[in-house]
């Protein structure tokens, strides 16, 4: 199997990206950028994936929308926020508060039984932001869902030949960041029409730094 880029090579790129950025008064994020090629974006090309990262420094924030037992279990599992139908009704009549609330969280999980209510109250705001809730079936272990989404990121693009996503921050080990980058690249590659043949360039950058590409250009195996 032809490997586009190895974890060892990614570690070197991460290291270089860190070295080439000025120290700031805050912890900078480390971002992965993947540029695509030979894809006709006019034919409805889109990526909308939740990808679990093997290594995390700060968990993603997750809001659970549920009633009854699932509501209680989500609170016990210390979800970042747990709301029910009462709060949804309030949000439906206050778009400004709804926007503020939605922007606080990375992911939303919702009891399948109240999904229609969620759609009616928040769908117009959640949809365009790529934050429509993941349905959680009745009696499903909400703890497992929370555990998975806390270590995940959302990667999305529509009609564009590149994606960018956060894979961690500069406090993490270079090798751990490389493992995360590799996990994202592998997941995205599977969603491309021609897999790795559609990947043009892989870059890593810090929040304030310039993008750094791999030292060796991607081999033109398919040229």
In sequence order, the β-bridge partners of residue 78 are none
220 sits in which H/E element? none
User: Which residues of the chain does CATH 3.40.50.790 include?
Assistant: 62-149
Please write the tens of the pLDDT for every residue from 119-160: 999 999 999 898 999 999 988 999 999 999 999 999 999 889
Please write the tens of the pLDDT for every residue from 25-56: 999 999 999 999 999 988 889 999 999 999 99
Please write the tens of the pLDDT for every residue from 10-25: 999 999 999 999 889 9
CATH number of 62-149: 3.40.50.790
3 state SS of 150: helix
User: Which residues of the chain does CATH 3.30.190.20 include?
Assistant: 7-57+152-213
CATH number of 7-57+152-213: 3.30.190.20
Q: How confident is the model at residue 219 (pLDDT cuts 50, 70, 90)?
A: very low
Handedness of CA 7, 156, 61, 134 (dihedral sign): negative
Which residue carries 């995390």 as its tokens?
56
Please write the tens of the pLDDT for every residue from 60-99: 999 999 999 999 999 999 999 999 999 999 998 899 999 9
DSSP code, position 75: H
3 state SS of 106: coil
């Amino acid at each position: 199997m032809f490997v586009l880029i190895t974890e060892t090579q990614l570690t070197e790129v991460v290291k270089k990206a860190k070295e080439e950025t000025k120290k700031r008064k805050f912890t900078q994020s480390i971002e992965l950028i993947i540029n695509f090629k030979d894809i006709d974006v006019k034919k409805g090309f889109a990526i909308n994936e939740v990808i679990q990262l093997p290594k995390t420094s700060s968990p993603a924030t997750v809001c659970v929308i549920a009633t009854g037992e699932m509501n209680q279990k989500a609170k016990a599992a210390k979800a970042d926020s747990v709301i029910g139908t009462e709060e949804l009704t309030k949000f439906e009549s206050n778009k400004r508060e709804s926007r503020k609330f939605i922007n606080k969280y990375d992911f939303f999980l919702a009891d399948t039984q109240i999904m229609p209510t969620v759609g009616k109250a928040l769908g117009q705001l959640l949809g365009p932001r790529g934050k429509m809730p993941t349905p959680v079936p009745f009696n499903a272990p909400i703890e497992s869902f929370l555990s998975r989404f806390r270590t995940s990121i959302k990667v999305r693009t529509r009609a564009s030949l590149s994606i960018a996503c956060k894979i961690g921050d500069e406090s993490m080990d270079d090798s751990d960041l490389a493992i995360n980058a590799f996990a994202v690249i592998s997941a995205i590659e599977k969603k491309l029409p021609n897999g790795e043949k559609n990947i043009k360039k892989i870059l890593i950058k810090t929040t304030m730094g310039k993008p750094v590409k791999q030292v060796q250009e991607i081999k033109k195996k398919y040229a």
